[in-house]
């Protein structure tokens, strides 16, 4: 897995072209989660909803990583799996301390996938999974 790649809406992972700012969710993962089932669960939530994501590896806790990813995202939505073992969903227009969703990976793979689904639905403007 490279340091930066794009999950296309067709489900394919491709290298990122830094010259293009694609409208995609920002997804940052702490290296600890690089090849985890939790990451695959979040990604499958995004893929089922057919929304692209710009994925990168970075160090930090979920909340801060997600806030940064959201700030950098063209669609203002960021998701992160942090070193603190948590998964966060953030929006650039929310205060940094109040993410839309913040869960512990212990909540399970299904919860991770729902978080991915909700990130995509936030971009699409359809009601979130409850």
Q: Which of 101, 102, 103, 111 binds another protein (CB under 8 A)?
A: 101
- Closest to another protein by CB, 30 vs 89, is 89
94 touching another protein, by CB under 8 A: yes
20 touching another protein, by CB under 8 A: no
Residues 6+ away with beta carbon under 8 Å from 6: 13, 14, 15, 16, 22, 24, 52, 53, 54, 55
Quick one: which H or E segment has residue 41? helix 37-48
CA distance 107 to 105: 5
Residues 6+ away with beta carbon under 8 Å from 39: 29, 33, 81
93 touching another protein, by CB under 8 A: yes
Q: List the interface residues with another protein, window 21-80 (CB under 8 A).
A: 44, 47-50
- Closest to another protein by CB, 2 vs 98, is 98
Binding site for another protein (CB under 8 A): 10-12, 44, 47-50, 91, 93-95, 98, 100-101, 121-122, 125-128, 130
């Amino acid at each position: 897995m490279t340091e930066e790649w794009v999950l296309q809406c067709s489900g394919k992972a491709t290298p990122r072209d830094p010259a293009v700012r694609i409208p995609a969710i920002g997804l940052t993962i702490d290296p600890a989660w690089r090849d985890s089932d939790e990451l695959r669960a979040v990604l499958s939530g995004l893929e089922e909803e057919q929304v692209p994501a710009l994925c990168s590896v970075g160090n930090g806790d979920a909340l801060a990583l997600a806030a940064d990813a959201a700030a950098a995202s063209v669609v203002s939505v960021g998701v992160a799996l942090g070193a603190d073992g948590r998964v966060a969903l953030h929006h650039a227009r929310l205060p940094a301390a109040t993410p839309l969703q913040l869960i512990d990976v212990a909540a399970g793979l299904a919860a991770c996938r729902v978080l991915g689904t909700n990130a995509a639905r936030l971009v699409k403007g359809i009601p979130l999974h409850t």
